[in-house]
Amino acid sequence: MSKVLDAEIKTPQQTNPEELQQFDLVGFGSGIFDEKHHESLLELADKLPQVTDKKAFIFSTSFIGVNSHVFGKVSSKFHTALREKLQSKGYSVIDEFNCKGFNTNRIYGRFGGINKGRPNREDLKHAEEFATKLKE
Ligand SMILES: Cc1cc2nc3c(=O)[nH]c(=O)nc-3n(C[C@H](O)[C@H](O)[C@H](O)COP(=O)(O)O)c2cc1C
């Protein structure tokens, strides 16, 4: 995504919330932890100044794919906390991306983890296509 968009990658800790105002499009993403993005990213979203006319996109990796139903569990809410925070700061969230990520949480760690090798080559291709669509 960063190559396609010619974008700098920064951790929340490296990011001054004020400086994000200078960009027309900002992507926010992390793994999903307990059905939300990483707390450091949610904290950054809380510190963002109010903006007008700025676009954002959201991405994540997770054990269960976003928008899938596994064990009767609907995962589409994984992006909700971050999306609502960004929208409340005035960002228009134009698109969202998710793919599976390697997980060793809970019982899965005992069996060497689940979703080994994810994101894989195909996931990265989808991420690239997603970024190309954003750019267009
Ligand atoms: C403490 C913890 C909680 C997690 N909670 C969820 C969850 O609620 N839903 C899910 O699909 N994956 C969950 N995962 C799996 C992660 O989202 C997945 O492994 C992700 O790819 C981690 O990203 P990272 O490698 O960039 O840290 C959890 C993982 C950990 C360690």
Q: Each residue of 13-59: pLDDT tens digit?
A: 999 999 999 999 999 999 999 999 999 999 999 999 999 989 999 99
Q: Which of 9-13, 74-78, 94-98 has the lowest mean pLDDT?
A: 74-78
Which residue, judged by its Cα, is nearest atom 27 of ligand 1?
31
With a pLDDT cut of 70, the percent of the chain lying above it is: 92
pLDDT digits (tens, 9 = 90+) for 47-94: 999 999 899 999 999 988 776 665 555 567 899 999 999 999 999 999
Q: Is 113 in the pocket of ligand 1 (CB under 6 A)?
A: no
Using 50, 70 and 90 to split pLDDT, how confident is the model at 111?
Answer: confident
- Higher local confidence (pLDDT), 10 or 104: 10
Residue that wins the pLDDT comparison between 104 and 69: 104
**What pLDDT band is residue 113 in, cutting at 50, 70 and 90?**
confident
Beta carbon of 61 within 6 Å of any ligand 1 atom? yes
Rounded to a whole number of angstroms, the CA Rg of the chain reads 15
Choose one of 9, 33, 114, 124 to mutate for the ligand 1 pocket test, by most ligand atoms within 8 angstroms of C-beta: 33
Q: What is the pTM for the complete model shown?
A: 0.92
Lookup: tokens for 76 = 């589409």
- What DSSP character marks residue 1? -
Length of the chain: 136
Domains within the chain, CATH numbers bracketed: 2-135 (3.40.50.360)
Are 9 and 2 spatial neighbours (Cβ–Cβ below 8 Å)?
yes
Confidence grade of residue 7 (pLDDT, cut at 50, 70, 90):
very high
C-alpha–C-alpha distance, residues 108 and 132, integer Å: 34
Type and span of the H or E element at 26:
strand 25-33
